[in-house]
Amino acid sequence: MTSGRGAIYTGTTRLIAISAAIGILFTAVIAFGVQSVVGSGGPPVEGELVNGVRHFALSAKQWGYTPALLKMNPGDIVSFNITSQDIMHGFAINELGINLALTPKVGIIRQVVIPPDIPEGTYHMYCSIFCGVGHPFMKGTILIGEPGFEIGKFLPYFATLVMAGMFAAFIVIGRRGVK
């Protein structure tokens, strides 16, 4: 009987360890996803249009950009004036070929043309120079045109529901094994 009880306990322990590992993994994914969905917050900034050039003044500091949500259109000529407020940061937008090193308190101006044939959608700007523990979360969002439905915006919420369901299932299964 002891070996039988030990087997149940071992199975329960294994179940708890597996559920804890899955919980940690899902929590990390959810934290990353939710931050990218709600991290930018507020309405998009459309910049100031002067002589046909859309100007954006951005500030970088640990661990975010201000503003973090920008809106522009395909074919726009865009000028980014960006300054790091604290330490070395990067400013990168892969789709536009931008990767700048930002020295503290020194502004950099970079002008680019948004290609007229770029697909409308959501693009990301991010820090490309390691700046501390929050570095992976230092990013912002660029809306080009009028993006339609994007599945990536709903994945964090779906992952949260899956995690809650798995947690409930593991508790129910675990309680059945303990007598």
Position 126: which residue type? Y
Phi, psi of 39 (to 5 degrees): -60, -30
| Strand 108-113 versus strand 77-84 pairing type | antiparallel
Q: How many domains are contained in the chain?
A: 2
| Strand 98-102 versus strand 69-72 pairing type | unpaired
Contacts of 89 (CB under 8 A, 6+ apart): 60, 61, 102, 127, 129, 131, 138
* Full pLDDT tens readout for the chain, 179 residues: 445 555 555 667 777 777 777 877 777 666 665 555 445 567 889 989 999 889 999 999 988 899 999 999 888 889 989 999 999 999 999 988 889 899 998 888 888 888 888 888 888 999 999 988 888 889 898 988 887 766 666 677 777 778 778 877 877 777 666 55
* Domain extent for 18: 2-36+156-177
Residue 126 and residue 51 share a domain: yes
- pTM of the predicted model as reported, rounded to 2 decimal places: 0.61
CA distance to 41, 63, 92, 149, per residue, from 7 (Å):
50, 48, 54, 49
Residue 25 and residue 49 share a domain: no
